[in-house]
Amino acid sequence: METEKFNIMNYTRLLENLQMEEALNFLKKYVNRVISEHSLGEMELKTLVQNTWYQMISVLEDQGLNADSLSYLKRDCLVKIYACSYSEDFAQVFSIIETDFREIFRKYKIDAHSSTIQNILQYIDGHYNEPLTLSSLARQFNFNYSYLSTYFHSHHSEGFSEYLNKERIRHAAELLRSDPLPISDVCEAVGYTDQSYFTRVFKKMTGITPREYRRKHGKAGE
């Protein structure tokens, strides 16, 4: 009976969606079946596992993980896979390296949520001048409100409001440096409806008021 080929397209799709645990389980299921049936040659199986693990490591590298940890995994994969025998030894080695991968997933919290978070951050960057709230973002992206709130505090050392204010003030500073718009218009252009609040936030983040910032860095607009 001809061996069913490993579905690399499904595996790649899982990796692209950062469904790392699912991708590893998908590979493990195939490897266990091949080993139990002895339906794939030794070198063919070793090459498949090495290539799929390297593919997974490449995704982890793209997520900015510690290079030393990943270099160790690369060396470990290559040395241990090619040093082991086909049957029991191979299954044992696969299990050991699988555990290393899962530990990295847990340590760096690599999962499908990471992709959604990046989409949310990109959305904020493109819609900072709109009336955004954490609740509206959670609903729009079908994301857990509590997880999203915790993410901002743990990954940015600030809450959602602080992150949004920082984006708005950054864009406001750019306008004050380069555009002669009245300050009231700058306030509205970056998403604030209350100029006095805008002034307080701006001063808190830059140390000076918008008017002082413009006099120091930009064009006279008022």
Calpha distance 151→163 (Å, rounded): 12
Q: Give the pLDDT confidence score for residue 219 in this predicted structure.
A: 55
Handedness of CA 114, 115, 117, 118 (dihedral sign): positive
* pLDDT value of position 190: 97
Q: What is the pLDDT of residues 76-109, one digit of tens each?
A: 777 888 787 766 678 888 888 888 888 877 766 6
Identify the CA nearest to 114 among candidates 65, 161, 150, 63: 63
> Which pLDDT does position 146 carry in this prediction?
76
Residues of the chain scoring pLDDT < 50: 1, 220-222
The CA angle 199-202-208, to the nearest 5 degrees, is 90
pLDDT at 212: 94
User: Looking at domain 113-217, does it have CATH number 3.60.70.12?
Assistant: no
Q: Write down the pLDDT at residue 86.
A: 66
Whose tokens are 């389980």? That residue is 25
Q: What is the pTM of this model?
A: 0.51
* Phi-psi map region of 115: left, alpha, beta (phi>0 left; psi -120 to 50 alpha): alpha
pLDDT at residue 222, rounded to an integer = 44
The Cα-based distances of 102 to 23, 110, 111 in angstroms read: 11, 10, 11
pLDDT digits (tens, 9 = 90+) for 63-76: 666 667 677 777 77
DSSP annotation of 6 reads P
Helix pair 88-108, 20-37: axis angle to 10 deg: 180
CA dihedral sign, ordered 172, 173, 177, 183: positive
pLDDT at 111: 53
The pLDDT of residue 66 is 65
